[in-house]
Amino acid sequence: MTFFDRLSRRAVATGSLLCVGLDPHLADLSTPTAEAALTYCRNIVAATRPYACAFKPNAAFFEALGAPGVAALGDLISDLEPEIPVILDAKRGDIASTAAAYATACFDVLGAGAVTLHPYLGRDSIAPFLAHQDRGVFVLCRTSNPGAAELQELATETGDPMYVTVATAVRNWDAARCGLVVGATAPGALPAVRRVNPDAWILAPGVGAQGGSLQETVAAAVRPDGLGLLISVSRGIARAPDPARAAAALVAQISAARTSTLVQATALSHGDNTKATAQDQMGDRTKAGFLATDQGQTLADGLLTAGCVRFGSFTLKSGLTSPIYLDLRQLSGDPALLGLAAQAYAARLEGLQFDRLAALPYAGLPIGTAVSLAGQWPLIYPRKQRKAHGTGAAIEGPFKAGETAVVIDDLATRGTSAREALPTLRDAGLHVGDLVVLVDRGSGAQARLAEDGVRLHAVFQLPELLDHWQASGAVSINQATAVRTFLQESV
């Protein structure tokens, strides 16, 4: 498995494209020591680990602290779990034995998964790093610093700027293990690079403190599969009052921009830029077709490993006795899986017309909150019982009569929970016509909800999940057959 295979897997598992930079500036340390630098970075990692797709320590700040600093850098990298990608920001560039020594230092001694490199000396300066088959490189293409244009935008003999020539060359060097560094401060460079190198992972610094636009960066650089881009942020997280909250907010903003970009691209590819057309096409990815994607399979498998699915004999809220029980409350104990589920919800929501989300207590509340963050949609929730004190509210959160709310719940069996909440929402003057769930059990909810004028949208259908789990060997034939029989009889 290459570095970029692991990076893709991590991006899917976390639902994140955020790369957290680890730059221990002396001004930020309690003392100018390697120990203080290591503690500082460890604190950032601890706060942001649930939200980071990758981490990017900057070698210079550690090297400036001498041998103890280099040792601290190695300790920092070794702290991280093997599945978390580490990109060493070292910007090396040399040839022959010198480059080989640099590669050994970066990969074998320090343990980085990838490293940033200068392309100025050509392919032979990159080759020693590519000799490490399971590692990757990010080649400097169009950097984010103010003086980058001085050389990187010089016209070459083809008429293209230098950075386009670099992106084209890198594609031919080793497309599977070469990424590119393209700064968010040069928005015109991102689409140009993506055109000549459509598959490469792009590391994009410059969002936030340097003034790069997150929305423009995502729109220009994300691949059609929703991957291929890392938004690198250092100071905006490290110097925030609450780094965890800052990282979570960035992930939500990136996710919203990614969802919007993919929906618009889908619509345009079919000759129609309306949201309705986009939603029709996204449905192919978030219903049955969603299981054909890496994201869908990771989410489906995660439901089993997180204990969200149990087999036995269970009495459901509908009164039915079921051989399977879906407990999606367990999602709240796995932030990465919850984030991935939120992304799937967000894709189903794109194209629906609504002003805010209405999450149903209780299982729908953490899910609704995660979806709200992923799509930056405002959230309300109807109480099971009106408050007997204070405001006496039946619905928590701000809204106005006449607005449209889309209901969010964990799953649908007979649609009972949603039907019970409808009077509270509609009596308050809200229009409700759509319910989005992670799993439709296929036990008649769609028809019953239609009687109340509500359309059911599900990320997964339970029968297709059974097919996937049985095919992978995670569920036995007897278990799957018992559930299928129950579904047929209950309908």
Closest CA to 250 of 236, 264, 229, 235: 236
| Residue 54, phi-psi category: left (phi > 0), alpha (psi -120 to 50), beta (remainder) | beta
* DSSP character at residue 300: H
DSSP 132-201: STT-EEEEEEE-SSGGGHHHHT-B-TTSSBHHHHHHHHHHHHHTTTEEEEE-TT-TTHHHHHHHH-SSS-
State the DSSP H helix or E strand holding residue 449, giving kind and residue range, or none if neither: helix 445-451
Q: d(Cα 383, Cα 430) in Å, to the nearest integer?
A: 15
Spatial separation of the C-alpha atoms in residues 39 and 58, rounded to whole Å: 15
Strand pairing category for 395-396 and 379-382 = antiparallel
Q: Is 91 a catalytic residue?
A: yes
Catalytic residue among 56, 91, 287, 384, which? 91
Dihedral angle over CA of 247, 251, 256, 257, nearest 10 = 90
Three-state SS at 80: coil
Token pair 């598959």 is at which residue? 199
How far is the CA of 323 from the CAs of 120, 319, 444, 461, in angstroms? 63, 13, 17, 16
Q: Which residues are catalytic?
A: 91
